[in-house]
Amino acid sequence: MSGRLQGRRAIVVGGGQTPGATTGNGRAVVLSFAREGAQVLVVDRDLDSAEESAELVRKEGGTATAHRADITVEDECAGILDAALAVLGHVDVLHNNVGVVPAGRTEDLGAQTWRQGFEVNLTSMWLTCKAVLPHMRQRRSGAIVNISSMAGLLAGGEAIAYTTSKAAVHAMTRSLALEYAPHGIRVNCIAPGMMDTPMGVDAPARAEGSSREDVAAKRAALVPMGHQGTCWDVANAALFLASQEAAFITGTVLAVDGGFTLTSRMS
């Protein structure tokens, strides 16, 4: 540990973990931030899962507190800031890591599925930013890191709700970055590619009735570097963007994808 976030206070939204799954992006970010000195408020819809992440931090000697919130509810997003101020004192970093994968061709996609994709992938992220930004603006300091997807950089006819909502996250990130740069606040986005995570591998394996190993091998074969990334690749990128090492970086969409978006389209 080098203390890259020493003394910093961070909110990690989606910092829990799917029960029984391998470590995902949210939990990896919680652990990485804490290992680099941050005090963390771990936010998740599943309080037990958030508490598991917080307990892992505490076992390593770090400081973390769990908080339950449904970020599709505006009042609960406001409550995240209240909880953070109560346990952390102030907020330096907001990390947004919640998403769903609405699938379906345009003609087959239901309006409710479309709306849910935007509600979870975009609107909820806007609500957490909206809740925390006045506090950061008052302090004239802050870093926001949004997790999106390579899907927002590619076309995907059978995943139109997903690709469109993720592209909207990129646009929102750039707009927030421009709006709040004069107030000392940086807003950036990470677009993960083929990652060996619960959402990337476990969920498709269950849906297809395939083994995890088969799905992972198929995904790895699509990546120019020859393998999938891991949650720690995403966490390392988030750590960089949240730290002072990225003090002059705002409004960027950082692809963490092993070169996938250079050669491919969504399938």
162 assigned to active site: yes
**Contact present, 161 and 113 (Cβ < 8 Å):** yes
Q: Which of 162, 189, 242, 256 is catalytic?
A: 162
H or E element at residue 118: helix 111-118
| CB 249, CB 237: distance < 8 Å | no
Active site residues: 162
